[in-house]
Amino acid sequence: MGRPTVTDIAREAGVSLATVDRVLNARPGVRAKTIAAVQEAVARLGYVRDMAAANLARGRSTRVAILLPDTESQFIQTLEDALAQAAALASSARMQVDLLRYPAADLHRLTAMLADLAAGGISGVALMAPETPLVRDALRALHAAGIPVVAMVSALPNCGAAHYVGIDSHAAGRTAGVLMGRFLGGRTPRVMVIAQSMLLRDSIERRRGFDAVMLADFPGVTVGQTLETHGVTQTLHQVMRESLRSDGPVGGIYLLGSGHRALAQVLSELGLLGQVVVIGHELTPHTISALRAGWLDAVIAQNVGHVARSTLRVLQAKADHQPINESQERLRLEIILRENLPQAL
Amino acid sequence: MGRPTVTDIAREAGVSLATVDRVLNARPGVRAKTIAAVQEAVARLGYVRDMAAANLARGRSTRVAILLPDTESQFIQTLEDALAQAAALASSARMQVDLLRYPAADLHRLTAMLADLAAGGISGVALMAPETPLVRDALRALHAAGIPVVAMVSALPNCGAAHYVGIDSHAAGRTAGVLMGRFLGGRTPRVMVIAQSMLLRDSIERRRGFDAVMLADFPGVTVGQTLETHGVTQTLHQVMRESLRSDGPVGGIYLLGSGHRALAQVLSELGLLGQVVVIGHELTPHTISALRAGWLDAVIAQNVGHVARSTLRVLQAKADHQPINESQERLRLEIILRENLPQAL
DNA sequence: TCATTTTTGAGGTACGCACATCAAAACGGC
DNA sequence: GCCGTTTTGATGTGCGTACCTCAAAAATGA
């Protein structure tokens, strides 16, 4: 005998198929006593709904939208690629994924897109976005409309019941701190922290985690304030020179966001390439080659493939009104050295 | 319009449903020209078989067996738990998993079990086993019978076309080496390597990877030969005392396999707990508490949850004669510090 | 050209479930 | 016990695919 089916449940509970169907799908018109009897039979036989057959019968192909900023960051591109790949696979499980980009500088446009989606009868939305009041309101509206929302990579608390798929940024910063502290060894106990900007929630949290560990576990190390580059190599060069001049040499550099390529260039110009410990975030073609080259010592990352698949699974589960397997969806914070670089991206 | 179905293919190719069915399922009695026409239509419409409906129609519930040694290791237990959990989830996708244990000391029994399974009409086998001629022959027989085999955690090359699910042990050893070298800092540049036994393939490979890195990147560090404990705390105590007496103090200890609890006890007795850098393998309740306690500095691990799910996915794909998504199945080698310990196991 | 074989078409049933309809039964109030 | 309401049963259809049978058509060989 294989798995029990609705027919088995009906026989076991002494009711008809129609009644079992009503109970399983929470349709009205069933006495509480009968509901209990059916549920008892379900429990006794260990019945689990065959979601494949159920969705097949529903003829429903879940349709979801995923929104990413149009930033020209390698990480965003990597994430989009992963999402596209996961979406291709998901299509064989009757799920259609619309990958969209919104102008990072125009959040009004983002909210407009979200409104359109809500009107267009989408069954779920995932996005990576900054947490502004504008965005928050738009997401709350989606939630009110019964459309599940998933926040990727950067958390969006207080935005309805948005599920977060991504790593704990504070822990990521702490991990970067421990590695920095231990890798410094006998080098100059001074660390420079560099970021493109401090507007994004995850950068702020990373910095906080980093500081917490440095303060507690490596009190002998001086950590400078965050140098913002705004993505301009020239600025990076300038602020680094200035910092080196005013505060003296450094033994380590912590790169909060992207900008590895520019950093390599400037470090090379300053004759520091390979001389200082550098710790960064996220696995992209740039960071991979930097790790291989040896001037980048460690990267704290999240597996974008897992982010993508988890996002789709969560959206699917929410659309099916099914519980989410938390332990499966919990993302690991990964430490990548040259030695454990994935063979292929 | 949703996804194309067999009916669409039939219309597009100008043939009947029956012919499409024959082509898709590689049934005989179709001209090469007709096959090409159907395949062309499949390609043009971007048809992907709905595996849910296909398996539903087949009425087939894939049944696989998973064999683990009956060793009382926390890692094996953790792995079994993960497999059981994954199996529970897989059951809702019409797959039945039989979790079996074989006596680690009696490989004849293992081969007998494998033979029984082959006779019992199983559609796939996954196992974690040493690579002996006996096992190799049994697996080759399975392969000859058309039953796919998956090796978990410890690779089984030359055993038919067994798929390997697990991390690269050599890379794991290399990673342990890098961390050891960098974490040693100003400590005594001497490292002790401890193992329960060196019979298992992965222990040997780890040791090799570790040595390679130490030799190349940290030539100032002396690495002792592997001390075998055979799982006896008494022996561990003895060999460690002896090594310390004859070769002097150590700054680090590399634990190749399990035995973290015993090591904690002995280190504590020797007054070395927390004084030396300790690097180990695999995430288990013991290693987790050791990381939390602070005397274990890093663990090189593979995510048992991923091992379990990947194993089941590979078995499912092989049973369905479907290609395996290599990039999804590639396991990451994880570095775990206290800072990035998963919140819950 | 005819007989034979190969290839194709048409149609049905089944898988496990969702969803709809209509009639029958049980229940409730009075 | 009557009536109206609520609850239940019986039955049907469809989702996309697999697999089966039988007949018709086409290709092949002599």
Structural domain contains residue B91? yes
Of B172, B182, B342, the CB nearest to A183: B182
| Cβ neighbourhood burial of A333 (10 Å; 0-12, 13-18, 19+) | buried
CA dist B117 and B123 (Å) reads 9
Q: How far is CA A86 from CA A83, A90, A127, in A?
A: 5, 6, 15
CA dist A150 and A168 (Å) reads 15
Give pLDDT, residue B43: 84
* pLDDT of residue A250 exceeding 60: yes
Residue B323 touches partner A, C-beta closer than 8 Å: no
Same domain as B310, residue B199: no
End position of a domain, from candidates A281, A301, A321: A301
How many independent structural domains does chain A possess? 3
Structural domain contains residue B343? no
Structure tokens at B172: 């794991």
* pLDDT of residue A328 exceeding 90: no
Residue of A nearest to B174 (CA): A339
Same domain as A173, residue A296: yes
Q: How far is CA A32 from CA A26, A27, A28, A36, A39, in A?
A: 12, 12, 11, 6, 10
Taking only residues 36 to 65 of chain B, the set having a beta carbon closer than 8 angstroms to any beta carbon of chain A reads: 48-53, 55-56, 61
Structural domain contains residue A95? yes
CA dist B318 and A52 (Å) reads 19
Nucleotide whose C1' lies closest to the alpha carbon of residue A18: D9
Give pLDDT, residue A42: 85
CA dist A178 and B341 (Å) reads 13
Q: Do A327 and B85 touch (CB under 8 A)?
A: yes
Taking alpha carbons only, the member of A92, A8, A89 closest to residue A55 is: A92
* pLDDT of residue A242 exceeding 90: yes
Taking alpha carbons only, the member of A261, A253, A254 closest to residue A288 is: A261
Neighbours of A6 (CB within 10 A): 17
Structural domain contains residue A341? no
Structure tokens at A69: 């900023």
Same domain as B289, residue B179: yes
CB B301 within 8 A of CB B341: no
Structural domain contains residue A250? yes
- State the average pLDDT for chain A: 88
CB B166 within 8 A of CB B153: yes
Greater model confidence, A24 or B101? B101
Q: What is the pLDDT of residues A260-298, one digit of tens each?
A: 999 999 999 999 999 999 999 999 999 999 999 999 999
Same domain as A179, residue A269: yes
Structural domain contains residue B115? yes
Residue range(s) defining the domain that contains residue B143: 60-166+304-331
d(CA A17, C1' D10) / Å: 9
Same domain as A287, residue A174: yes
d(CA A47, C1' C26) / Å: 28
Q: Which residues pair with A85 in a beta bridge?
A: none
DSSP string, B204-252: HHHHHHHHHHHHHH-TT-EEEEEEE-TT-HHHHHHHHHHHHHHH---SE
Same domain as A149, residue A90: yes
CATH number at residue A227: 3.40.50.2300
Same domain as B308, residue B239: no
Q: What is the pLDDT of residues A107-160, one digit of tens each?
A: 999 999 998 887 766 788 999 988 889 999 999 999 988 888 999 998 888 888
Same domain as A147, residue A118: yes
Taking only residues 126 to 155 of chain A, the set having a beta carbon closer than 8 angstroms to any beta carbon of chain B reads: none
Nucleotide whose C1' lies closest to the alpha carbon of residue A56: D15
Neighbours of A286 (CB within 10 A): 20
Same domain as B297, residue B180: yes
Structure tokens at B90: 């897989």
Per-residue confidence in pLDDT tens, chain B, 345 aa: 567 888 888 888 888 888 998 888 887 888 888 888 888 888 888 887 776 788 778 766 677 889 999 888 889 999 999 998 887 766 656 677 888 999 988 999 999 999 888 776 678 899 998 888 999 999 999 998 888 999 999 888 888 878 999 999 999 999 999 999 999 988 999 999 999 877 678 888 999 999 999 999 999 999 999 998 887 888 899 999 999 999 999 999 999 988 899 999 999 999 999 999 999 999 999 999 999 999 999 999 998 988 998 998 898 888 777 778 887 788 889 999 999 998 764
Give pLDDT, residue A280: 97
CATH number at residue B26: 1.10.260.40
Structural domain contains residue A1? no
Same domain as A90, residue A204: no
Measured over the CA atoms of residue A49, residue A50, residue A51 and residue A55, the dihedral's sign is: negative
CA dist A197 and A128 (Å) reads 17
* pLDDT of residue A314 exceeding 60: yes
Q: Give me the percent of chain A exceeding a pLDDT of 90.
A: 50
Greater model confidence, A166 or B32? A166
Look-up of token digits 């985690």: A209
- Minimal Cα–Cα distance from B233 to chain A, Å? 31
Neighbours of A119 (CB within 10 A): 9
Same domain as A193, residue A123: no
d(CA B34, C1' C11) / Å: 21
Same domain as B175, residue B162: no
Structural domain contains residue A336? no
Q: Do A89 and B325 touch (CB under 8 A)?
A: yes
